[in-house]
Structures are given as structure tokens and as C-alpha cells.
Amino acid sequence: MKALFQKELASFFSSLIGYLVVIVFLLATGLFLFVFDGQFNVLNSGYANIDGLFILAPWIFLFLIPAIAMRFFCEESKTGTIELLLTMPISDRAIVLGKYLAGIALLLFALIPTLFYFFTVYALGSPVGNIDMGATIGAYIGLFLLGGVYLAIGTFISSLTENQIVAFILTAVACFIFFIGFDFVAELLPQLSFLTTLGINEHYNSISRGVIDTRDIIYFVAVIALFIYFTTISIAKKRK
């Protein structure tokens, strides 16, 4: 699994995909937080926080993470290298995890530079350091877990098709449904208000308040594990 992880991670940065994901994410968030006028602009808000980052990032991830995940198995299936991969002395689960964890590493590479935003706001606060540390840490944890769910969904969908464009679109739609779709249904049909607990947004907002509830952590871990399991089954069927 380690060799596959290293191979996948190297492939991200041997092409433009890895660099584009990181640059586009940082450029988009940076412009909205510090350049464009609007509700997300830190300098105009009058408050020492980077809440705009945690509002914008899930929507930006709806496009960037499908771009990462769409090539996981689509490219292997299209080029025929999936057969070679399946003949290696490595379990289906290890294959899936190797690719998935490479995506997680790329997600971290995109998130870590945003700490510059945090330290900037920390220094600009009056007094210095006047920022809600608990809420910020919670929001970062929530954003990382949200990205992990998006990646797990994308990994599964990429195992179902050889077409990267189809995988990208289906992943974006599926992530949108999991992020906000359940909330829309619950709003239209109040008798189904319990559906909000099935969506990412409910748990993401909860963690972003700075309160790390085990129920929210269990939700994210369970959804990730479920889609990793589905992907493992999908890959196992390719052996037959």
C-alpha cells in the first residue's frame, strides 16, 4: 500500500493536477478573503475571524475534489493498467486506501498554506490574538473531514466508470446532495426534518462552532468507511 500511495502522490505532482488543485484553492479563497469586497472579506468585516474560508471551501471542494478523485480508477480502467494492478500481491482494500490516502495528502497540501490566513488575522486582531481559537480549530477539523467524505465518494464513483468526465460530474452531484441536498428536502418537507442529520452540512456546522461532538466525528468516519467499503467491493468485482 505504501508504494501505491507514493506512486499516486507522485503522479499528482508529475502532472498539473496537484499544482492546479492547490493553486486554484488558495487563489480563490485568498481573493475572497482579502481582495474582493463582500461578506467574506476579512479586512472589511470588523471581526478577527476567517469564517469566510470555512463557508467558501466546501463549495470550492465540490469542484476541486472531483477533479482529484476522477482519475483514481477511471484512468486505470481506460488504459488497461487496472488488470496489472489487480495482479499485484496487494489486497483490494490496500489498493483503495493507497489511492484514497494519496488524495487525503493532496487535500492537506491545499489546507496547510491557509494557516497563513489564520496567522494574518491573528496578528491583525485588536488586541493581537483576538480570534476564537476553539472555533477555528474545530472548523479546520470539520473542513478536513468534509474533504475526506468528498474524496471517499469520488473514489467510489471513479471505480464505476472509465470516463473521467462522467466520474467528475457524478462525484460533484453526489457531494452536493450529501452536503446540502438533505437540507433542501427537509426544508420542503418539514415532516422529514430528520434528514438533515444525514447530510454533511449539519455535522460540519456543528464542529465549526468549536464543539467537537463524538456524534459528528462518528458520522464523518462512518460515511468515509462506508464508501471505502463500497469501493473495495467494486474493485473486487473487477477481478472476476
Tell me the pLDDT of the chain (240 aa) as tens digits: 778 888 888 888 887 888 888 999 999 999 998 888 878 888 777 677 888 999 999 999 999 999 999 888 887 777 777 777 777 788 889 999 999 999 999 999 999 999 998 888 888 777 776 788 888 899 999 999 999 999 999 999 999 988 899 999 999 999 999 999 989 888 888 888 888 889 999 999 999 887 788 999 999 999 999 999 999 999 988 766
Residue whose grid cell is 468526465 = 165
The rounded distance, in Å, linking the Cα atoms of 227 and 140 is 22
Instruction: Find all residues with CB under 8 Å of 167, minimum gap 6, and list them.
Output: 66, 69, 70, 74, 154, 157, 158, 160, 161
Q: Which three cell numbers stand for residue 173?
A: 452531484
Classify burial at 202, counting beta carbons within 10 Å of its beta carbon; exposed 0-12, middle 13-18, buried 19 or more: middle
- Measured between its terminal Cα atoms, the distance across the chain in Å is 22
pTM of the model: 0.93
- Cα separation of 113 and 147, whole Å? 16
d(C-alpha 77, C-alpha 71), whole Å: 10
Angle of helix 16-34 relative to helix 115-124, nearest 10 degrees, comes to 20
What local confidence, expressed as pLDDT, does residue 240 receive? 64
